[in-house]
Amino acid sequence: MAEKQSCAFRTSIGGQALIEGILMRGPEKQAIVVRDQNGELVEKVEELRLIKDRYPILGVPLIRGTVNFLASMVQGVKALMYSAEFYPEEESVQPSKFERWLEAHLSSKKLEGAVITLSVVLGVGMSIFLFLMLPTLLTGALLRLFPGFPLWGRNLVEGLLKIVIFMLYLIICSKQKDIYRVFQYHGAEHKTIFCYEAGLPLTVENVRVQPRHHPRCGTSFLFVVIFVSILVSSVVFGIWPVTNAWLRTLVHLILLPLVVGITYEFNRWVGRHVQESRLAQILTAPGMWMQNFTTNEPDDAMIQCAIRSLELVLPSEKGKDAW
């Protein structure tokens, strides 16, 4: 885990690593900065339109977590697709009949929307399958060999499987060559935000020495989602004993918005108190440790990209981005 970091204030600005670039999101706008194949920085800045401004109820605690999570996924997929355009794959395969049909029947804007929707659905679906359904089904199959196994033991085995599968997923991803550079940009994003929070000038030298593990990282968020799901499901299944694997899976899905909502509020609390609260530091330690697999040390060019993306989303009014 990274060393303690002095903090002048805590910012609500957050980011996401892309293909040879970074997305930063501030209180007023978001910016994508990508380094193209010629080594030049390409910038794209958009004003933020928050759904809670139109529907205030979606900004209520516990509800806003799921809403913000899905909105972040949609924006993240859009940003990834945008960054991928600067590094197109070689056209070695002919498009399939389905791809040709899509191109013939959908406008480019509708096609992009369809791809984004499909990507989000597949991403959420894969996460639900890997980290919720698979552990439940595996536990159910395993415990058929031990019909008298206590319910608390089943909850424990299921929870441990969730954590093991999540860790294996991160480790496998971290070993992929193409993902390594993305995780370097992830490290650059964290270091740049730390430098800004410390009140230091945003220079490569100042950013380079910052920690690459941040308590508000998405990796930590996903780990806490899994941990909270273990706690919530243990309470629910303790009150309402369910042994059928498919029914347990259905209950997990029903509880998921509550789990994400609790995790989001926890993440906000951590963002405010992790520097001074020993409890917050202990609770975030596992997620911080897991960032060893999802963040790598960046080079100076990546840091320059992160600095520029952060500069583009700084609010017009100083302090408006305070957490």
Kindly report, residue by residue over 118-171, the tens digit of the pLDDT.
777 888 788 888 888 899 889 888 888 887 788 788 888 888 999 899 889 888
Give me the percent of the chain exceeding a pLDDT of 90: 34
d(CA 308, CA 31): 9
pLDDT mean across residues, the chain: 85
Binned at pLDDT 50, 70 and 90, residue 2 comes out as: very low
Calculate mean pLDDT across residues 181-207.
95
Rounded (to 5) percent helix, strand, coil in the chain: 65, 10, 25
Contact 185, 18 (CB under 8 A): yes
d(CA 214, CA 7): 12
pLDDT of residue 32: 96
Give the three-class secondary structure for 103: helix
H-helix segments, 85-203: 97-105, 108-128, 134-142, 151-174, 177-197
CB-count burial class (<10 Å; 0-12, 13-18, 19+) for 5: middle
Contact 292, 2 (CB under 8 A): no
> Residue 43: which H helix or E strand, with range?
strand 41-47
Higher pLDDT, 93 or 214: 214
pLDDT of residue 311: 96
Cα Dmax for the chain: 65
Calculate mean pLDDT across residues 166-195.
91
pLDDT of 209 > 90? The answer is yes
State the DSSP code for 322.
Answer: B
pLDDT of residue 8: 61
Q: Of 97-111, 114-128, 210-224, 287-301, which gets the smallest average pLDDT?
A: 97-111
> Residue 303: which H helix or E strand, with range?
helix 300-313
Q: Of 17-31, 197-211, 262-276, which gets the smallest average pLDDT?
A: 262-276
pLDDT of residue 40: 94
Kindly report, residue by residue over 86-126, the tens digit of the pLDDT.
887 655 556 666 556 556 656 566 656 666 677 778 887 88
d(CA 14, CA 173): 22
Closest by CA position to 189, among listed 16, 9, 10, 42: 16
Binned at pLDDT 50, 70 and 90, residue 182 comes out as: very high
pLDDT of residue 123: 80
Tokens 């009949």 — which residue? Answer: 97
The ranges assigned to domains in the chain are: 14-85+99-313
CA distances from 118 to 107, 157, 257 (A): 16, 33, 20
pLDDT of residue 191: 97
Count the alpha carbons within 13 Å of 242 in the hemisphere toward its beta carbon.
17
Tokens 């093991």 — which residue? Answer: 164
pLDDT of residue 140: 85
Calculate mean pLDDT across residues 195-208.
95
Contact 27, 12 (CB under 8 A): yes
C-alpha torsion 319→320→321→323, nearest 10:
80
Closest by CA position to 65, among listed 321, 259, 231, 283: 259
> Residue 18: which H helix or E strand, with range?
strand 14-18
pLDDT of 3 > 50? The answer is no
pLDDT of 208 > 70? The answer is yes
Start-to-end C-alpha separation, the chain: 23
pLDDT of residue 104: 65
> What angle do helix axes 63-84 and 245-273 make, rounded to 10 degrees?
90
d(CA 110, CA 126): 24
Higher pLDDT, 49 or 190: 190
pLDDT of residue 91: 55
Higher pLDDT, 262 or 54: 262
> Amino acid letter at 47?
E
Closest by CA position to 150, among listed 225, 249, 274, 243: 243
And the tokens for 311?
């500069």
And the tokens for 307?
């600095």
Kindly report, residue by residue over 4-51, the tens digit of the pLDDT.
455 567 888 999 999 999 999 999 999 999 999 999 999 999 998 878
